[in-house]
Structure 1
Amino acid sequence: MARFTVTQQVGAPADSVWAAMVDWRRHGDWAPLTAVRVTTARPDGVGAEFVARTGIGRLAFDDPMTVELWQPPGGNAPGDAPGRCEVVKRGRVVLGRAGFSVVPLPSGRSRVDWDEDVTVTPHRLTGLAGPLLSLAGRVGFGATLRAMARDVERRSR
């Protein structure tokens, strides 16, 4: 499996960051070459499903996901319970789990901790290139979370 974690501080309260992170369609605004569509009637909560399509033309692939854990943050103050969302990736190209926590920090700030534990097909590719895939995940999702932080900070002013 390819595993990685990315952390990003955001100059906005936890509830605002949570709202942005679970607005699945907005992920397409932050992640290059990605469009996200919700495929269930409700976009929120356990059981919600969405598909991230990443790439260009014939080089694109679908990454379908189902929410398995949905715990919004308990508040915006340090010490309040962090929010946690986890999804199962069940596509033909990417399989595994992804999740994020939104942790309240002092001064109306918060922190997002994003983690993934995935395999790609063919599965032996993950075994051979796991460290490279983990590095690519850290770099790619790091850029995505920085874009999210800029967007949320701009909207919260």
Structure 2
Amino acid sequence: MARFVLTRRSPLTAEACWARLTDWPRHGDRVPFTQVRVARGSGRRSGDAILARTRVGPVAFDDPMEIVHLQAPAPGRDGLCRLQKHGRVVRGWAVLTVRAIPEQGGTEVTWTEEISIAGLPRAVDPLVAVSGRAVFGRVLAHLLS
């Protein structure tokens, strides 16, 4: 499995960062050829489902994810969302955390993901990780701007 970690600082409050990070359809704004939607529930509770659908011409695949844990930030408590990927093409998990930094102002957001792509040998995991950092770095920059 390929693993990557992204950390970004934002002048926004933890609550504002959280609202943007869990606005699932906006994730698709910066993932090429991909639309993201809430497939079950509100997208704000454990057990809800998110679906990312990627299409390039006639080739398409789904990346279905389940929110297995979701805790919004609160005073003295970090926000945390753990997603489990259940697709035939993309498998793995992601953990999104939002931590207020009161002594410096603003918030720190961390995106940790471990994925495997069906049919790709483990030898390409470093390339998958670099690609993941690039794509989801753009997503984070977009969501937090």
**Same fold flag (TM > 0.5):** yes
Shift of 1:132: 0.8
Question: Quick one: which amino acid aligns to residue 134 of structure 2?
Answer: V
Is 1:143 aligned with 2:138?
A: yes
The equivalent of 1:93 in structure 2 is: 89
Q: Does 1:103 align with 2:99?
A: yes
Cα drift, residue 31 of structure 1: 2.9
Counterpart code for 2:63: D
**1:13 matched residue in structure 2:** 13
- Compute the displacement of 1:128 (Å): 1.6
Once residues 106 and 52 of structure 2 are traced to their aligned partners in structure 1, the CA distance between those partners, rounded to angstroms, is 28
Instruction: Give 1:154's aligned residue.
Output: none
Q: Please, which moves more after superposition, 102-111 or 113-122?
A: 102-111
Higher helix share: 1
The percent of aligned pairs where both chains have the same amino acid is 38
Partner of 1:129: 124
Q: Distance in 2 between matches of 1:52 and 1:28?
A: 8
The answer as to whether partners of 2:73 and 2:98 remain within 8 angstroms in 1 is yes
CA distance in 1, matches of 2:55, 2:106: 33
Q: Take 1:83 and 1:62, find their aligned partners in 2: how far apart are those partners?
A: 27
Provide the rounded CA distance (Å) in 1 between the counterparts of 2:97 and 2:34. 22
Map of 1:114 onto structure 2: 111
Map 1:55-66; keep pairs closer than 5 Å: 55-66=55-66
CA contact (8 A) 1:2 1:126 kept: no
Letter in structure 2 aligned against 1:59: V
TM norm structure 2: 0.91
CA separation of 1:39/1:3 partners in 2, compared to 1, >3 Å: closer, same or farther? Answer: same
Q: Is the 8 A contact 1:30 1:148 kept in 2?
A: no
Give the partner amino acid of 1:147: H
The alignment's C-alpha RMSD in Å is: 1.5
Secondary structure, aligned partner of 2:113: strand
Higher alpha-carbon deviation: 96-105 or 23-32: 23-32
Q: Give 3-state SS (helix, strand or coil) of 2:58's partner.
A: helix
Unaligned runs of 5+ in 2: none
Q: Distance in 1 between matches of 2:117 and 2:106?
A: 35
Aligned to 2:4: 4
One-letter amino acid of the structure 2 residue matched with residue 139 of structure 1: A
Mapped partners of 2:67, 2:121: distance in 1: 24
Q: Which runs of 5+ in 1 are unaligned?
A: 151-157
* TM-score of the superposed pair, with normalisation by structure 1: 0.84
Give the structure with the larger strand fraction.
2
